[in-house]
Amino acid sequence: MYGSIASALQNMSFMLPVGLMFLLIKDLLNNTLNSHKNIYLYGSAGILAVIFILSFFQYNGTFMATYEETGRRRISLAEKLRLLPLSYYDKKDLADLTTSLMNDCDVLEKSQSHFVPPLIGAMISTTVITIALIGLHPVMALSMLWVLPVSFCIIMCSAGVQNRLMKKTTASRVAYEAGIQECIEASKDLQSNNAEEAYLQKLEDKIRAFEKNSVLAEFGKAAFITASSLVLRLGIASTVITGTCFLINGSIDLLTFLFFMLIVSRIYDPLDASLQNLALILSTGANIERINEIMDQEIQTGTDILTNDGYDITFENVSFSYVDGKKILDGVTFTANQGEVTALVGPSGGGKTTVSRLASRFWDATSGTIRIGGMDVSTVNPETLLKLFSIVFQDVTLFNNTILENIRIGNPNATDEEVIAAAKLANVDEFAEKLPEGWDTMIGENGSALSGGQRQRISIARAFLKDAPIILLDEATASLDVENETLIQTALSKLIQNKTVLIIAHRMRSIASANKIVLLANGHVEETGTPQALLAENGIFAAMCQRQTESSDWTVRS
């Protein structure tokens, strides 16, 4: 509001030279200029000073306040993203979220700084000037201002068209940004498969689509803005014609006529800019919808107090659907006991990863109950609950930092000695100490300087460093060779004492020493028991082991 009032005062200050010009013409006509020379000299200096001061306050009141508000909006949006369920990021495209954080916030920043305050300010100043002009001569004032409601109506009618065009533009922007990101990430695969040309052609099509939609969006705004500006300029013609008629029949004097001519030459400038601002404000509807879509997402809530007695993980008749009507889990019941290794096995798509992520409350179960030490996980704040978990995902995320700092993420307060001790448990020292700068070696974006197995070991070292009572390993050793897999399993055996370990694995040798096997298929627990007992049953688990044994004997033949 402060910025809008400052803009209104600034607009009215721009009318002061018109008043001074009117007085000058009056003195010229009355031949009294010599007696008022100082008035015009000091008046000009005073008007410049007033315009400068009001412009200064307008800038600070509009732009500086907006930048602070935009900063708060970005922080609140980031805070909202932090509180959203982790499952939200599996459903949302990264380029889409980046566009919301960067482009959508930037558009709203410009709207609130460059468009809204000047628009409101122009409306306020025009209203004040209109009241004054109506008091001076109602008909002349109406001949000057009748174009305003018509021009504003033209812009308002463009709202629907602009929203549709902006949605298409934003969608095409997200598509090409996602394409560029994917192209960079998959450059090795594209080159190795000679697929660069075909992919780049599709990427060019996406860029051209964005270019086309951007041009159409700009044309959509320009068409309505130009039409409204043309109507606005008709006010000059109607004022001149009306004033001339009144001057001829003697209804107004020459000075009044000249006064309205001076006013009409200036009054439309802020209004013309305001019509453009209004069109641009209306076009931000799509950006606001995208930000609101994030802000309106439900967050997971719960207590910050842990009431668990021990760390047994119990699933009681748990069902879950990503999409309504399509169950991923259906009535799953089992217990992963503290101090034991429980392995989740089964065919792809059977629900193994879903089980682990429900346990850590990445999602909430559709029905049934999940408990940790008797505590219902759905009643606990996710951030608080995750303090109980050390998680190693199949897809490792590393940062462009040193090996030491990448591991320290598991416990930011850990000393270098504690970090290195955890790293040695995961066999990271085997390669870290051979690097030129040792533990202080920068590993590049997402660990690009390391192999897949080395990256995985850093991820496992984080879990060791966090030393949480529950460990989730989702294909944690999938990228390791047999030798390092054995070393990691030896390290795990030291780590799991009195802890709950949940392992997802496809390689049967990875879970040979597990205390319990839970075999999931088609969303159901089909088999459960020790590896030896399930092998003896000669069921699904035994068949899986047999197939892997047969595949291990496979060789390439000429």
Q: Is 454 helix (H, G, I), strand (E, B) or coil?
A: helix
CA–CA dist 383, 306 (Å, integer): 11
Q: Is residue 305 part of a domain?
A: no
Residues 6+ apart with CB under 8 A from 44: 20
Q: What pLDDT is recorded for position 376? A: 94
Q: Is the same domain home to 264 and 340?
A: no
CA–CA dist 432, 253 (Å, integer): 93
Domain boundary among 249, 269, 295: 295
Question: What value does the mean pLDDT take over residues 160-164?
Answer: 80
Q: Does the pLDDT of residue 23 top 60, yes or no?
A: yes
CA–CA dist 422, 157 (Å, integer): 64
Question: What value does the mean pLDDT take over residues 208-224?
Answer: 85
Strand partners, 525: 520
Q: Does the pLDDT of residue 478 top 70, yes or no?
A: no
Q: Is the same domain home to 361 and 510?
A: yes
Contacts 24+ apart (CB under 8 A), 245-248: 246/139, 246/140
Q: Supply the CATH number for residue 448's domain.
A: 3.40.50.300
Q: Is the same domain home to 9 and 142?
A: yes
Q: What pLDDT is recorded for position 196? A: 79
Q: Is the same domain home to 318 and 408?
A: yes
> By C-alpha distance, which of 117, 81, 119 is closest to 4?
117
3-state class percentages of the chain: helix first, strand second, coil last, to nearest 5: 65, 10, 25
Question: pLDDT band at residue 89, thresholds of 50, 70 and 90?
Answer: confident
Q: Is the same domain home to 196 and 339?
A: no
Highest mean pLDDT among 131-135, 416-420, 550-554: 416-420
Q: Is 449 helix (H, G, I), strand (E, B) or coil?
A: coil
Helix (H) or strand (E) holding 54: helix 37-59
Q: What pLDDT is recorded for position 112? A: 67
Instruction: Tell which wins on pLDDT, 71 or 144.
Output: 144
Q: Is residue 183 part of a domain?
A: yes
Q: Is the same domain home to 399 and 442?
A: yes
Question: What value does the mean pLDDT take over residues 471-490?
Answer: 70
- Report the DSSP pairing between strands 367-372 and 375-376: antiparallel
Q: Is residue 302 part of a domain?
A: no
Q: Does the pLDDT of residue 287 top 80, yes or no?
A: no
Instruction: Tell which wins on pLDDT, 243 or 556.
Output: 243
List C-alpha distances in Å: 18 to 13, 124, 131, 239: 10, 19, 17, 17
CA–CA dist 351, 334 (Å, integer): 14
Q: What is the DSSP letter of 139?
A: H
Q: Is the same domain home to 340 and 410?
A: yes
Q: Is the same domain home to 201 and 322?
A: no
* pTM score: 0.65
> By C-alpha distance, which of 52, 53, 44 is closest to 20?
44
Question: pLDDT band at residue 404, thresholds of 50, 70 and 90?
Answer: very high
Contact 527, 540 (CB under 8 A): yes
Domain boundary among 234, 269, 295: 295
411 CB-side CA count, 13 A = 23
Q: Does the pLDDT of residue 304 top 70, yes or no?
A: yes
Q: What pLDDT is recorded for position 65? A: 64
Q: Is the same domain home to 246 and 117?
A: yes
* 494-507: pLDDT as tens digits: 667 778 989 887 77
Q: Is residue 287 part of a domain?
A: yes
Q: Is the same domain home to 277 and 377?
A: no
Question: pLDDT band at residue 377, thresholds of 50, 70 and 90?
Answer: very high
CA–CA dist 82, 429 (Å, integer): 33
Phi first, then psi, for residue 432 (nearest 5°) are: -65, -40
- Taking all residues of the chain, what is their mean pLDDT, rounded to a whole number? 80
Q: Is residue 393 part of a domain?
A: yes
- Strand 367-372's sheet: what is its strand order? 326-336, 313-323, 367-372, 375-376
Q: Does the pLDDT of residue 333 top 90, yes or no?
A: yes
Highest mean pLDDT among 111-115, 187-191, 381-385, 491-495: 381-385
Instruction: Tell which wins on pLDDT, 422 or 299.
Output: 422
Q: What pLDDT is recorded for position 488? A: 65
Strand partners, 402: 442
Instruction: Tell which wins on pLDDT, 544 or 486.
Output: 544
Q: Is the same domain home to 286 and 337?
A: no
Instruction: Tell which wins on pLDDT, 418 or 495.
Output: 418
Q: Supply the CATH number for residue 152's domain.
A: 1.20.1560.10
Query: How close are the terminal C-alpha atoms of the chain, in Å?
Result: 80
CA–CA dist 476, 463 (Å, integer): 11
Instruction: Tell which wins on pLDDT, 226 or 30.
Output: 226
Domain of residue 468: give its range.
Answer: 313-552
Amino acid at 352: K
> By C-alpha distance, which of 486, 481, 422, 472 is closest to 454?
481
Q: Is 480 helix (H, G, I), strand (E, B) or coil?
A: coil
Q: Is the same domain home to 317 and 291?
A: no
CB atoms under 10 Å from CB of 134, counted, come to: 14
Number of domains in the chain: 2
Amino acid at 80: K
Question: What's the token pair of residue 181?
Answer: 């990101």
> By C-alpha distance, which of 514, 520, 402, 517 is closest to 461?
402
Domain boundary among 295, 330, 364: 295
Q: Does the pLDDT of residue 84 top 70, yes or no?
A: yes
Q: Is residue 258 part of a domain?
A: yes
- Helix count and strand count (H, E) for the chain: 24, 10
Instruction: Tell which wins on pLDDT, 531 or 7.
Output: 531
523-534 burial by CB neighbour count: b if 16+ within 10 A, else e?
A: bbbbbbbebeeb
Q: Does the pLDDT of residue 72 top 80, yes or no?
A: no
Q: Is residue 322 part of a domain?
A: yes
Residues 6+ apart with CB under 8 A from 97: 81, 89, 294
CA–CA dist 372, 17 (Å, integer): 76
Q: What pLDDT is recorded for position 231? A: 85
Q: Is 428 helix (H, G, I), strand (E, B) or coil?
A: coil
Instruction: Tell which wins on pLDDT, 174 or 283.
Output: 174
CA–CA dist 150, 485 (Å, integer): 75
Q: Is residue 60 part of a domain?
A: yes
